[in-house]
Amino acid sequence: MQPRSHINQDMTSQRPHDIIARAAASDKIRILFVCLGNICRSPAAQGVMQQIIDSRGLTEKYLLDSCGFYGGHAGELPDKRMRVHAARRGYKLDHRSRTIRTWDFESFDIIVAMDDRNFQDLMEIAPSAEDQRKIVRMIDFQRHHPCQDCVPDPYYGGAEGFELVLDLLEDACSGMIDEIEGNRT
């Protein structure tokens, strides 16, 4: 696929902190989490973030959703392994998998990629440069896992991969909420 002319190919020029500051000005902040299959990482991110938001009394201020690029699991609950590991930490994951739609860029303020492939795919399908500026990487909000450069796909691995995903998501989601709320006026 030829890159579209508006596409910003320089991923290092994305500034997550500017995106967060802009979104924080909204009354209701809409966040979309994106991975490949929408059955492991992004529905877990949605569940972890929802619990953080609820526990801080911010339920009415946020709207969360998740989706993926691959439609092979559309309509399914999250992967059983992801649900089991999440449930052990108190998260109930009941999202149904769906693929990303062009109008998601209009419907959400912040679009969160789990890894660099998700990030690049989002940059390619974003309808405008303004929409591209909504895209951030989940890992950029971590505070306790400096050696990790993405939320790695656990699908073909073992239990430790699912635990790592949850560790990273708990760290990065709380980092993101702290940053958004810290920017509220």
Q: Based on the shown chain and the rule CB under 6 A, indicate whether residue 37 belongs to the binding site for ligand 4NP.
A: yes
Residue with tokens 């092979």: 72
Out of 38, 132, 142, 174, name the contact with ligand 4NP by CB under 6 A.
Answer: 38
Task: Count CB-CB contacts under 10 A for residue 48.
Answer: 26
Out of 7, 155, 161, 178, name the contact with ligand 4NP by CB under 6 A.
Answer: 155
Q: Select 3 or 72, whichever has its Cβ closest to ligand 4NP.
A: 72
Q: Based on the shown chain and the rule CB under 6 A, indicate whether residue 39 belongs to the binding site for ligand 4NP.
A: yes
Cα–Cα dist 165/172, whole Å? 10
Q: Based on the shown chain and the rule CB under 6 A, indicate whether residue 137 belongs to the binding site for ligand 4NP.
A: no
In the residue annotation, 153 being an active-site residue is answered as: yes
Binding mask 69-88 for ligand 4NP (x = CB under 6 A): -x-x----------------
Q: Select 38 or 46, whichever has its Cβ closest to ligand 4NP.
A: 38
Q: Based on the shown chain and the rule CB under 6 A, indicate whether residue 36 belongs to the binding site for ligand 4NP.
A: yes
- Residue 34 near residue 66 (C-beta atoms within 8 A): yes
Contacts of 122 (CB under 8 A, 6+ apart): 34, 100, 111, 113, 135
Out of 40, 48, 53, 86, name the contact with ligand 4NP by CB under 6 A.
Answer: 40
Q: Which stretch binds ligand 4NP (CB under 6 A): 4-12, 64-72, 123-131, 135-143?
A: 64-72
What are the structure tokens assigned to 27, written together? 């009354």
In the residue annotation, 67 being an active-site residue is answered as: no
CB of 15 to ligand 4NP, least distance (A): 25
Helix pair 41-55, 80-88: axis angle to 10 deg: 30
Q: Which residues bind ligand 4NP (CB under 6 A)?
A: 35-41, 68, 70, 72, 153, 155
- Give me the active site residues, please: 35, 41, 153
